[in-house]
Amino acid sequence: MNKKWEVNEANDILINRISNEFNVSRLVASIIVNKGLTDSNEIEVFLHPRRTDFHDPFLMPDMEIAVNRIIKAIKQNEKVAIYGDYDVDGITSSTILKRFLEERGLKTDVYIPNRLNEGYGLNEEAIREIAKTEHTLIITVDCGITGNKEIELASSLGVETVVTDHHEPAEKLPKALAVVDCKRKDNKYPFNGLAGVGVAFKLIQAIATRLGIREEEYLKYLDLVCVGTISDIVPLVDENRTISKLGLRLVKQTRNIGLKVLLDSIGYQKIDSNTISFGVAPRINACGRMGHEKEALELFLTNSIEEAKKITENLNKYNLERQEIEKRIFNEVQEMMQRPEEQKLPCIILGKENWHHGVIGIVSSKITDMYFKPSILLCFEDNLAKGSGRSVQGFDLHEALEKCNTYIKQFGGHSMAVGITIEKDNFEKLKKELEDYATAMDVSSIVPVIKIDEKIQLQDISIKDIKDLELLEPFGEGNKMPLFQISNVKISSIRALSEGKHLKMSLKDENKFIDIIGFNLGNLSSEYPIGTKVDVVGNLEINNYKGMETIQINLKDIRHSLN
């Protein structure tokens, strides 16, 4: 599919001012300007965040009430349950809160629902079990904001609830003792983009402040807070940037035995946001996806190296199993997409038996990226069809389900990602309804846009320039790796790798060569013969091979040169 390339216009005066004031390269200064940062204080916090840059946690809604109730539980040694989620965000949230409270002398139990049997969030059976075991307080982390019915049940059973969450609330807030969520309409906290673990971190910061505990006693958890934040794909700006930038320093020297053993098993040479996103997160999430959520929690809680090694071995096994299932479903979806009638449709709605609903969200994401169409994939189980969907920029998938809710039993999520359950017999009806809606919304006319930070020449790139860009890390949602365009360069070699999956090229401009790697772009190898002049867009990287550093471009798009 043809993509629209948009290049940011350079403001040379501003770029030169920032370059001189902060002693950074022109390339770094131009990226800072492209991010809309012009105020000196904002730029200083962006480049060099410090522990003093955290906002006051008591500005969060209901934080005062939550802190008072938890301190009461500590003093009276109550039986407290932490109710989390099965993904990295929920697991890290549960871990830091449990460890912090136990260091204050309060033993806690953690309940993580099983993704395959219970699904996301609070459920009545779990609430009844928590009440039956004589807990007097539930603290939710990374969930609870829509658990109105379950929280009322807890209250009727004599259990109070403190909700900490970061998801969008419904029209009516749950009747919990405290609802700490910066997405509330009455929120006055200056940043509402925290992950669930970020909100849990602010809770322990507030408790520590109230109890007069040294800040080191909560800042030491920034390694896990960083892992949960980066893994949850929240915008790495404002307080999330402070968390991830400071947290990555702790990850490199983490005292959490489970995290250290897991990192060692992955074997990344460099620990950065990519290590978390592509190394740690898939393995922790694989536990939840495959129904072994408790092992992920045990990994971060254990003080035994031997136990950590055993659990890590299992995590790596679950991740390989997840990859195999994902590959099978992906291939089956691609086969179904060969049907001419499917290719003409504005969105992709497919279902099949024996698809794993813990994995199909990843497949949906890949399919949406490949075809640039909203997709919903459903697995048929008995009389139900359960699944996940992903969207493209410019089409609100959550709103689409709200408009096409005739046949939907249950759904949730946001504009770009949803989970859904319907009766199996209603699959074709829902498919037709959503296809008609997508047609009416003219989804097919949406063109993917690649936002390019700057045009550069091969002769202008040095290894030092690329190393200077590391000042902008950690990269992630809201702080993407910079994209550069290089134009009118000649292909000197081109081939496909890994059975045609990936693309390997070498480009030449005058006397300078540069290597290109294009992941999942192997199909392009036959479209661009050697000698063709092309324009390319990609990230600048340093390839370290046998101690030799060379520059390479991680390709995002290519086209025949316009010159």
- The answer to whether the CB of 143 falls within 8 A of the CB of 91 is no
Q: Residue 85 gets which letter from DSSP?
A: -
User: What is the tens place of the pLDDT at every residue in 31-59?
Assistant: 999 999 999 999 999 999 999 999 999 99
pLDDT > 90 fraction of the chain, expressed in percent and rounded: 84
Which helix (H) or strand (E) segment is 419 a member of?
A: strand 417-423
Tokens of 405: 């809710």
Quick check: 168 pLDDT over 90?
A: no
Confidence category of residue 517, pLDDT binned at 50, 70, 90: very high
**3-class SS at 554?**
strand
Average pLDDT over residues 510-529: 90
Angle formed at CA 127 by CA 121 and CA 133, multiple of 5 degrees: 140
CA dihedral 364, 262, 95, 140 (to 10 degrees): 10
Average pLDDT over residues 202-207: 98
Average pLDDT over residues 457-480: 90
Question: CB neighbours of 327 closer than 8 A, spacing ≥ 6?
Answer: none
User: What is the tens place of the pLDDT at every residue in 387-403?
Assistant: 999 999 999 999 999 99
Average pLDDT over residues 228-241: 94
Q: What is the pLDDT of residue 286?
A: 95
User: What is the tens place of the pLDDT at every residue in 70-91?
Assistant: 999 999 999 999 999 999 999 9
Confidence category of residue 1, pLDDT binned at 50, 70, 90: low
User: Which residue ranges form the domains of the chain, and what is each CATH number?
Assistant: 4-9+450-560 (2.40.50.460), 57-253 (3.90.1640.30), 337-445 (3.10.310.30)
How many Cβ atoms sit within 10 Å of the Cβ of residue 125?
11
- The answer to whether the CB of 81 falls within 8 A of the CB of 108 is yes
Axis crossing angle, helix 222-231 with helix 238-252, rounded to the nearest 10: 120
Quick check: 413 pLDDT over 80?
A: no
Closest listed residue to residue 154, CA positions, set 144, 165, 167: 144
Amino acid at 323: Q
Q: What is the pLDDT of residue 414?
A: 79
Rounded to whole angstroms, the Cα distance separating 186 from 3 reads 40
Q: Residue 169 gets which letter from DSSP?
A: P
- The answer to whether the CB of 490 falls within 8 A of the CB of 508 is yes
Rounded to whole angstroms, the Cα distance separating 312 from 280 reads 11
Amino acid at 151: I
Q: Residue 168 gets which letter from DSSP?
A: P
pLDDT > 70 fraction of the chain, expressed in percent and rounded: 100
Confidence category of residue 500, pLDDT binned at 50, 70, 90: confident
- The answer to whether the CB of 438 falls within 8 A of the CB of 374 is yes
Angle formed at CA 525 by CA 324 and CA 501, multiple of 5 degrees: 5
Closest listed residue to residue 453, CA positions, set 473, 469, 430, 435: 469
Tokens of 387: 């699944």
Tokens of 69: 């109730």
Quick check: 346 pLDDT over 90?
A: yes
Question: CB neighbours of 284 closer than 8 A, spacing ≥ 6?
Answer: 87, 88, 91, 231, 296, 299, 315
Axis crossing angle, helix 238-252 with helix 196-211, rounded to the nearest 10: 80
DSSP per-residue string spanning 451-520: EESEE--GGG--HHHHHHGGGGPSPBTTBPPP-EEEEEEEEEEEEEETTTTEEEEEEEETTEEEEEEETT
262-268 contacts at long range (C-beta below 8 A, 24 or more positions apart): 262/299, 262/308, 262/312, 262/315, 265/312, 265/313, 265/316
Confidence category of residue 562, pLDDT binned at 50, 70, 90: confident
Q: What is the pLDDT of residue 187?
A: 97
**Mean pLDDT: which of 31-45, 123-137, 447-461, 504-518 is highest?**
123-137
- The answer to whether the CB of 85 falls within 8 A of the CB of 112 is yes
Rounded to whole angstroms, the Cα distance separating 72 from 102 reads 14
Alpha helices (H) in 106-195, listed in sequence order? 124-132, 148-156
- The answer to whether the CB of 223 falls within 8 A of the CB of 254 is yes
Q: What is the pLDDT of residue 410?
A: 84
Rounded to whole angstroms, the Cα distance separating 89 from 469 reads 28
Q: 496 exposed, middle or buried (CB, 10 Å; 0-12, 13-18, 19+)? A: middle
Average pLDDT in the chain: 94
Q: What is the pLDDT of residue 545?
A: 79
- The strand pair at 454-455 and 80-83 is best described as unpaired
